[in-house]
Amino acid sequence: MNTIPNHVAIIMDGNGRWGKLRGLSRSEGHYAGSQTMEELIDASAEMGIKILTLYAFSTENWKRPKDEVNYLMNLPIKFFNQKLPEFMKRNIKILISGDIENLPKGTKKAVIKAMEETENNTGLIVNFALNYSSRSEIVQAISRVLQDAKDHKISIEQLDEETFANYLYTKDLPDPDMVIRTGGERRISNFLMWQSSNSELCFVDELFPDFKKEIFIKEIVKVFGDNEVSLNEWVV
């Protein structure tokens, strides 16, 4: 029998290179990545994973060329417009981890709508790390802890790991069991640094658009599965 991880997080790296390798633009690579992302959302729901966290845009990504940033900021608008009815039917809940306030107006509106509409869904949680930085998440948490201590809402003596975790974007979520990074680099890139302190780290060479369902499942089975036979339970 396989144990199914509760929470899998993915650093979706390699879209730009995937596009360039095919004589396409980096943005076309991101489009291909978004198709793979949809496939992995489906696979996660089928497998019974409870939470899938996807690193969609880091605060460092603002330094990219303007047209690429615009493309990446428009993707969630198109994506949620198209996919929300299906997510409602499939009981999928959307969360965002990151600085939503400083997103462009249209993107902010689309992600807030997606969170609000799916708020009461009880199936797979898809948590998008959008405009996300682990370091600033931690600094902001510290600053809010200090403010709450000043306002006598908590006492510094009471502060422990559990209380601190409640100040992070991921406050209602368990830590990831596994963090996968595609694209061949072996770095965490400012992603879930607090939350992944005990996670299995899994680095794969496939560029994200090529990281299809079968490879995803194989990586999960490598860490959590019993044997090759049980792999067949999932690869349909």
Q: Which is nearer to ligand FPP, 75 or 141 (CB)?
A: 75
* CA pair distance 125, 94, nearest whole angstrom: 6
Q: Smallest gap, in angstroms, from Cβ of residue 195 to ligand FPP?
A: 19
* CA pair distance 96, 119, nearest whole angstrom: 12
Q: Which two tokens stand for residue 176?
A: 């990831």
Q: Which is nearer to ligand FPP, 56 or 154 (CB)?
A: 56
Q: What is the DSSP string of 84-146?
A: HHHHHHTT-EEEEES--TTS-HHHHHHHHHHHHHTTT--S-EEEEEEEE-HHHHHHHHHHHHH
Q: Smallest gap, in angstroms, from Cβ of residue 59 to ligand FPP?
A: 11
**Contact criterion met (CB below 8 Å) for 58 and 133:** yes
Q: Smallest gap, in angstroms, from Cβ of residue 57 to ligand FPP?
A: 6
Q: Which is nearer to ligand FPP, 72 or 217 (CB)?
A: 72
Active site residues: 13, 61
Q: Which is nearer to ligand FPP, 2 or 97 (CB)?
A: 97
Q: Smallest gap, in angstroms, from Cβ of residue 201 to ligand FPP?
A: 18
Residue 44 one-letter amino acid: S
Residue ranges that bind ligand FPP, judged by CB under 6 A: 12-17, 26, 30, 33-34, 37, 56-57, 61, 72, 75-76, 79, 128, 183, 208
* CA pair distance 88, 54, nearest whole angstrom: 19
